[in-house]
Amino acid sequence: MEEKREIYREAGDWGEGWEEWKERNFQALRCRPRSQKRAYIEVMEKGERGEEIKGSWEEEESEKESIGKGDPIVPFFQREVYFGKLSPSAKVRPFLILQNNLLNRLCWEEGYSTILVAPLSGRLAGGEYRIFIPQRDNLTRPSEVVLTAIGVISPAKLLWSRGRATILTEEEWGQVVEGVKKILGVEKW
């Protein structure tokens, strides 16, 4: 937990500006997008080219786990990777938290209902829109952040009780940011 507190401190001062920020953004933060769900699950289950993906992040027993609806949300931060499951039939896979720490705090303190994430894949393909992450911590194999599959998920889809899989280094996070800029066509920002 001490490590979490340190990251929390690094995330910025939550002091006086926090309540004003929430008030300014209240209406925008009430939306609950759902239209992406089916397409997002399809990409994650069949891959970017539509072929069936073989293999799993965990043993077969883990495939039978719930989606995580009973897991209490823990404080989480940008750059962290957590395991999640998009549907009962979906594979357990890691997801990188992309959204800023103000929105993350709303999730664990105020019940905000969405998290902007990028999935990780153990199927190494390379390219400008995939960022390599070596096996470490609780990440069970070398993986790539799949920036072409960025999406919004509910906090209930993440398996918080498993703890954090890993956290990206500054260098890896910089590569993610540059990759997102390429996807948006704003490399010169």
- Residue 21: pLDDT band with limits 50, 70, 90: confident
Q: How far apart are CA 184 and CA 176, in angstroms?
A: 12
Q: What element of type H or E holds 131?
A: strand 130-133
All residues at 6 or more sequence positions from 43 whose CB lies less than 8 Å from its CB, including other chains = 149
Tens digit of each residue's pLDDT (9 = 90 or more) over 160-178:
999 999 999 999 999 999 9
Span 118-139, average pLDDT: 95
Break the chain into its structural domains and give their ranges: 2-184
Residue 3 has pLDDT above 70, yes or no: no
pLDDT at 37: 53
Asked if 131 and 147 touch (Cβ cutoff 8 Å), the reply is: yes
pLDDT at 35: 47
| pLDDT above 90 as % of the chain | 49
- Residue 108: pLDDT band with limits 50, 70, 90: confident
CA 162 to chain centre: 14
pLDDT at 68: 47
Token readout for 178 is: 């540059």
Architecture of the domain made up of 2-184? Roll (2.30)
- Among candidate residues 175, 165, 179, the one with its CA nearest the CA of residue 80: 165
- Residue 113: pLDDT band with limits 50, 70, 90: confident
The strand pairing partners of 158, in sequence order, are 84
pLDDT at 120: 97
Q: Look-up: residue for tokens 């999640």? A: 84
pLDDT at 56: 45
Residue 139 has pLDDT above 50, yes or no: yes
Tens digit of each residue's pLDDT (9 = 90 or more) over 36-87:
455 555 555 555 445 554 444 443 334 334 444 557 889 999 999 999 998 8
